[in-house]
Amino acid sequence: MEKAYQIQVFGRVQGVGFRYFTQRKAQETDVKGFAKNMPDGSVFIEAEGKVQDLEVFIQWIKKGPSWAMVTQFNITELPPAGYENFSIH
């Protein structure tokens, strides 16, 4: 079963390679979508894939790479958009 989520991650998540690590983890877990920096300093992610793959991906995103610090994490379910890969914007 496929699901999709809109995720916004706050904290020290820009300028620390967060989007690139997100992309690598998405590729490892077969999650599709994108990640982009937002003007408020957060990272915005749309992610879709199989439920079990998304669970692994989301747990990783909540923690982030070692030099990032996630302080807040918002997630909303949305309809799948049919992404073919995971890109960085």
Considering 19, 24, 74, 85, which one is annotated as catalytic?
19
Considering 12, 37, 74, 85, which one is annotated as catalytic?
37
- Asked if residues 75 and 9 have their Cβ atoms less than 8 Å apart, the reply is no
85 is catalytic: no
Q: Considering Cα of 52, then 69, then 5, then 21, what sign does the dihedral take?
A: negative
19 is catalytic: yes
Show which residues are catalytic: 19, 37
